[in-house]
Amino acid sequence: MSAGKPSVMDHDPFDEGVLADAETYDRLALAAGPVLYFPKYDLYALSHYQHVRAAFADWRRFCSGHGTGIVHTGRAGNWRRQSPVLENDPPDHGRYRRILQNVLTGATLIEIRARFAAVADAMVEELVGRGRFDAQTELANAFPLVVVPTMLGLAPDERDVMVAYSDLNFNSMGPDNSLRRASIARTAGIPGRVEALCRRDSLAANGLGARIYDECDKAGMSDEDASILVRTFFSASMDTTANGIGMTIHALARDPDQWRMARADPALLRAAFDESLRHDPPSPHIGRTTTEAVEIEGITIPADAKVLLMVGAADRDPARYSDPERFDLTRQEGPHVAFGVGIHTCIGQPLAKLEAELVLTALARHAGTLAVDGNPTRQLNNWLRGFATLPIVATPAQEIAR
């Protein structure tokens, strides 16, 4: 790397081959230097933990308002109205964020636990009883798809519509490549349908979606604002949580010692999900836009440039973590950046952690052993990491006890 210049990266971070081999991509990015540049997209990137964390916290110089993907929406516009929480900055950002904070309270989490703990237990008991199952499609995806739409008050027969829309949303944060175009083809007419589903009269009166409308009414906000917040809640709560749960099951199933440790001390199941988010973040990068020229280790990123914060690389930075490639339930090295930092820290993280806890607790109760059964397949999405399939073989706990 030349002094004062970013490292030019010739590979395409959104190529399907790269997406399928994410860990190699992260290692290349970490080794290349503190500031990277992808000429194909006129895109700068940060991969080292200290710089990614600092950029997350510095919303004044690394803004979200011009989109959190690679497209500069201040120049090119956006295919949908931007999220007033995720793609917004102060002073407006705070008042929208408070709406969701007023809905996703401790009392709400207690309500979710009471309603869905038995659902998770029954779901896991049936799957483990079969001996073999797909932990991604039949559990990691299936459980949030019960919890989130039910709590929002969405019609049960419309859940697949919301999932397809969410896939389009995350693919659209990357470039206009074959993955995004395939999502567009699969979702013809769906954005308009989702808009209708997020209206007040489409939501159950006792759901969180209705509460969002009520909170917006109190704050003097429009129904359009409320509708966008309902959409934001769903999109931000489903895919990343499902992928995170799948990644955690995969990590535990690959390491019998870690699984035995977690079963012996169920409190470690929370640590398992958190360590999995560091080890294999379901949302491995996020976009920002510089509001002024920013210098990092003598390298200047110009003003009004798109910058990719490489979360997946940062959370495996050997300057930050000892043996970063290892999944370790006992790791005590401070916070990762998978949930972000600062004013844009993921507002739904308590819900994600609760859903993961319910699934993993049920799994620890019912499965004496876990192992990966065959070859998992990777989900290919411009903006997500996870599994499309995760075949698991499990031995029921009561058989181990005999």
Distance of CA 250 to CAs 136, 140, 272, 358, 390, Å? 9, 11, 11, 16, 7
Q: DSSP of 184-237, one letter per residue?
A: HHHTTTHHHHHHHHTSGGGS-TTSHHHHHHHHHHHTT--HHHHHHHHHHHHHHH
**In the chain, pLDDT over 90 holds for what percent of residues?**
90
Question: Is residue 324 scored above 50 in pLDDT?
Answer: yes
Q: DSSP of 92-136, one letter per residue?
A: HHHHHHHHHHHHS-HHHHHHHHHHHHHHHHHHHHHHHHHSEEETI
What is the reported pLDDT for 87? 95
What is the reported pLDDT for 2? 44
Confidence band (pLDDT; 50, 70, 90) for 401?
Answer: low
Question: Is residue 20 scored above 60 in pLDDT?
Answer: yes
pLDDT tens-digit map of 351-375: 999 999 999 999 999 999 999 999 9
One-letter amino acid at 105 equals T
pLDDT tens-digit map of 266-309: 889 999 999 999 999 999 999 999 999 999 999 999 999 999 99
**What DSSP character marks residue 6?**
P
Beta-carbon contacts of 2 under 8 Å, excluding residues fewer than 6 positions away, are none
Tokens for 172, please give them. Answer: 């659209």
Beta-carbon contacts of 296 under 8 Å, excluding residues fewer than 6 positions away, are 34, 35, 46, 51
pLDDT tens-digit map of 275-287: 999 999 999 999 9
Distance of CA 65 to CAs 89, 102, 288, Å? 6, 23, 8
What is the reported pLDDT for 1? 42
To the nearest 5 percent, what fractions of the chain are helix, strand and coil? 55, 10, 35
What is the reported pLDDT for 77? 82
pLDDT tens-digit map of 25-46: 999 999 999 999 999 999 999 9
